[in-house]
Structure 1
Amino acid sequence: MAENVRIRETTAEDMPTLRSLIEAFLPFVSNAPGDAVTITVEDLVRDGFGDKPCFTCLFLEVLEDGKPPQVAGYTLYYFAYSTWSGRVLFMEDIFVLPEHHRKGFGKFILKHLAKIALDNKCERLSWQGIKERDCTHFYNAVGAGCNSAWSNFKLDVQGMASLLEEP
């Protein structure tokens, strides 16, 4: 990697920048309209920096002499638990701004997360990826396996409320 970069943990003051990066990430993972992202800066501050933080976010920054660090990407992760294998680091997002693609930054972030996972005695680093997107070749190149035997399910707020109303 030719450029001088660093990864640093975000602070509550970084959440407006994170919110903007999430918006920039949207077209790469969805055909949803720009208003599909409903999380607010306040939500991110509460959930990332409250009494019981739900996630950790890291910024990838490009360092150039005489200039302030430039955020080039981010990853957001949290720890989960598998009843089969134990501790898991789950990567919710990984995103590098398009002008910084093909510079090795994504792999740099994944390597950093792998070290965090190993340092925390995690049995695996997991994430979800959209099969139809260009990212799958990147995931395969770093040695990630895809478990096609499993399906992802979710209940949104309306679904959860409906479930609770059932007898």
Structure 2
Amino acid sequence: MKDLADRKGDRFKIRFAVENDVTLILNFIRELAEYEKLLSEVVATEELLRESLFERKVAEVIIGEYDGEPVGFALFFHNFSTFLGRPGIYLEDLYIKPEMRGKGFGKIMLAFLAKLALERNCGRLEWSCLDWNEPSIKFYRQIGAVPMDEWTVYRVHDKALVDLAKRFYDFFT
């Protein structure tokens, strides 16, 4: 992505997060959650992130820096398309600090992930967006992203997740 970084005068850089970035990552997650009005739902801790990102390596993080200062992050992981027979990249979170928005950094980070997806022979780059987040929806459409209106995301979590898992054991007892 050097050509995109050069357009910003080499002032914007993207790097993969390292274990020492756990505090920074958690702060970005909290800032994003506050923007999305979901701060009360953040239960992640530095310890959980360290284990998930750097020990188990179930997801990856890139950090965007402007003039050497972190201004945003993206957390992503691989999924798999049975129809394509290839992996994809699922972008869980993309966040740019409010005072740094509008400078093209989000586009550069998405372009980096698209490039990474191609390098890893992925067939897709996907993410979800809150229905009320009009600035993000407009931004995503400008880069050619299309909403998957015919699909609805379902989630099982908390007690429902535990209850569903218990059903597995019920089948065999």
TM-score by length of 1: 0.90
Give, in angstroms, the shift of residue 165 of structure 1.
3.8
Letter aligned with residue 107 of structure 1: K
**Is 2:18 the partner of 1:14?**
no
Q: CA separation in 1, counterparts of 2:62 and 2:166?
A: 39
Matched, 1:98 2:98: yes
Summarize deviations over 1:54-91 as a string: whole Å, max 9, x none: 1110100012xxxxx20000001111111111210111
Aligned letter for 2:153? N
2:149 corresponds in structure 1 to 148
Looking at secondary structure, tell me which structure has more helix per residue: 2
Instruction: Compute the displacement of 1:101 (Å).
Output: 0.5
Q: Which residue is equivalent to 1:115?
A: 115
| Aligned position for 2:58 | 54
1:98-149 CA distance string (max 9 Å, x none): 0101000000000000000000000010111112102000000000011100
Read off the aligned partner of 2:93 and give its amino acid letter. D
Partner of 1:66: none
The Cα of 1:2 is off from its aligned counterpart by 4.0
**2:3 — aligned with what?**
none
Output the CA distance in 1 between the equivalents of 2:33 and 2:164.
29
Give me the identity figure in percent. Answer: 25
- Aligned partners of 1:58, 1:114: CA distance in 2, in Å? 13
Distance in structure 2 (CA, Å) of the matches to 1:156 and 1:128: 17
Residue 74 of structure 1 is matched in structure 2 by 73
Distance in 2, matches of 1:91 and 1:28, equals: 18
Question: CA-atom RMSD, angstroms?
Answer: 1.3
3-state SS in 2 of match to 1:126: strand
Residue identity opposite 2:160 in structure 1? G
Given residue 59 of structure 1, which amino acid in structure 2 is its aligned partner?
Answer: I
What is the alpha-carbon distance in structure 1 between the residues aligned to residue 136 and residue 109 of structure 2? 14
Distance 1:91 1:39 in 2: 18
Give me the TM-score of the superposition, normalised by structure 2: 0.87
- Distance in 2 (CA, whole Å) between partners of 1:154 and 1:93 is 17
What is the aligned partner in structure 1 of residue 45 from structure 2? Answer: 40
Residues 152-163 of structure 1 aligned to structure 2 (within 5 Å) = 152-163=153-164
2:117 counterpart letter in structure 1 = A
Distance (Å, rounded) in 1 between the aligned partners of 2:111 and 2:23: 26
Aligned to 2:4: none
